Structure 1
Amino acid sequence: MGARVTRMFRNFNLENRAHKEISRQKPVPAPRHTVRDPPPAGAGSSGDADALNQKNESLLGLLRSVYVDSTDPAAAEVSNKVMEDETRRPLKFHVPSNTPGLAEVTDVPKGKLSIAEALKALNSHQREPLTWTPEKIAQDYSLDLKDTKAFLEYFILFRVYVQPTKTENTKQIKAS
């Protein structure tokens, strides 16, 4: 019933409204951009091409007089750092793996650790902190002392926490 009433109001005086819309004056479109005709193929274009292809001796002379010598200070620092990193040390500890496609690491740059060495050093320090001091670890693995102290402080091995089992003495909240 509602659709009929809606349709009735929508179609009321439809024809008069359509004639009114059609008779309304349309907006004037903007003028089109005028297109110039391209220049003829033989006129003037060959002269311009010849001028571009000719050598200008005065400009060549000025170009020959310019000499630029530049050096990048950052490149010199990088090359020095690369030479320092080239000193490598053999691995102290490695984990044997039979994974195909992985290259066996035999040496690392000084100041760096492999994952296996890092885990071994952390484990040794946790088990015997008096013998495996940060100074000894830094000396054994050719590390900076400041980095070694930060490594031992912030790099944490996995810790397993076993929750104690329930006993008779354990207090529990009773459901009501």
Structure 2
Amino acid sequence: MGARVARMFRNVNIENRVHREISKEKPRAAPRHAGSTEAAGTADSVHQKNDPLLALLKTVYVESTDPAAAAAEASKEVTVGKEAERRPLRYSMPGDLYGVVELTDVPKGKLTIAEALKALSSYQRQPQTWTPEKIAQEYCLDLKDTKALLQFFMPFQVQIIPPKTDSAKQIKAS
């Protein structure tokens, strides 16, 4: 109810107040600074044709190249040079694994997963026959990398820990 009364007092004689405000004299704009005429002259000189500068500009020759294209071209040169350093695939998994296209050759110094598993399992089964030197030579690898591979990666190493008590259930070997 108080809002209704307040609105009545606020809207009383509103038309007269609006007409009085509209009929007031408008404020005058601030006078321009004396330096603004110089700025206008400078703007005109910028848009005028300057023949000596135009002649100098015509003598300039700019040659531009795209850095991304240059990097792509450099990488193509690197890959072309390394194509000769490929070796045929020694071992591959049977079937189409995960829809991956079957490889026919790999770069020297690299292994496929199938080759790595084969080399590691051969070394694990026959360490006297498959020495790190022989594996490095067979797969065109660096001897230091081969030794690290054989030391730190051990596939298919199953360890059965016997239970601490005899009453615990244990999987029987068949």
Q: TM-score, normalised by structure 1?
A: 0.53
In the alignment, the residues of structure 1 paired with residue 98 and residue 144 of structure 2 have an alpha-carbon distance, to the nearest angstrom, of: 37
Structure 2 segments unaligned to the other structure (5+ residues): 1-29, 65-69, 168-174
Describe how 1:101-116 pairs up with structure 2 within 5 A: 101-116=99-114
Describe how 1:24-173 pairs up with structure 2 within 5 A: 48-49=46-47, 51=49, 56-61=54-59, 63-64=60-61, 79=77, 83-84=81-82, 86-99=84-97, 101-165=99-163, 166-167=165-166
Q: Look up the equivalent residue of 2:157 and give its one-letter code.
A: R
SS in 2 for 1:56: helix
Q: Look up the equivalent residue of 1:104 and give its one-letter code.
A: E
Q: CA RMSD in A?
A: 4.1
Number of residue-to-residue matches in the alignment = 123
In the alignment, the residues of structure 2 paired with residue 162 and residue 100 of structure 1 have an alpha-carbon distance, to the nearest angstrom, of: 31
Whichever structure has more helix as a proportion of its residues is 2
Shift, 1:92, TM fit? 0.9
Preserved contact between residue 90 and residue 115 of structure 2 (Cα < 8 Å): yes
Residues 89-125 of structure 1 deviation map (CA, whole Å, 9 limit, x = unaligned): 1111111234563211121111110000001101111
Residues 132-167 of structure 1 deviation map (CA, whole Å, 9 limit, x = unaligned): 011100111111111111111122224222122443
Preserved contact between residue 85 and residue 110 of structure 1 (Cα < 8 Å): no
Preserved contact between residue 120 and residue 155 of structure 2 (Cα < 8 Å): yes
Structure 1 segments unaligned to the other structure (5+ residues): 1-33, 169-176
Q: Look up the equivalent residue of 1:106 and give its one-letter code.
A: T
Classify 1:103/1:50 alpha carbon distance in 2 versus 1 (closer, same or farther; 3 Å).
Answer: farther
Q: TM-score, normalised by structure 2?
A: 0.53
